[in-house]
Amino acid sequence: MVTPGITSGLGSEPAPGSRAPGVIPVREREAELRRVWRHLSADRLGRAGLGLFVIVVAMTVAGPLLFPFNLGCCGRRRCSTG
């Protein structure tokens, strides 16, 4: 059975040893990230996949900024820029 983590009203300190569900302490989170990075850096395909992922995300963000699309121009033979 799940017990509530709230022991009193707003503004009070949380009960010792209690934390919100799904919240991971910073040390555990850092250890998990180090473990994932160690596996990725050791695996050649992991590094390649991470590199491709970074490239795709960069293209997704930078593409519309570098090459804006004018929908009003679509389907015309000549598009005026002004």
Is 48 inside any structural domain? yes
Residue 48: pLDDT above 60?
A: yes
20, 27, 44, 74 from 64: Cα distances, Å: 39, 38, 31, 16
Is 15 inside any structural domain? no
**Which pTM value belongs to this model?**
0.49
Residue 37: pLDDT above 80?
A: yes
Lowest mean pLDDT: which of 14-23, 27-36, 42-51? Answer: 14-23
Supply the pLDDT for residue 46.
Answer: 84
3-state per-residue secondary structure call for 24-71: CCHHHHHHHHHHHHHHHHHCHHHHHHHHHHHHHHHHHHHHHHHCCCCH
Tokens of 48: 């390649």
Is 18 inside any structural domain? no
Is 59 inside any structural domain? yes
Q: For the chain, what is the domain count?
A: 1
> Domain range for residue 49?
26-67
Is 56 inside any structural domain? yes
Supply the pLDDT for residue 69.
Answer: 79
Supply the pLDDT for residue 59.
Answer: 94
Is 54 inside any structural domain? yes
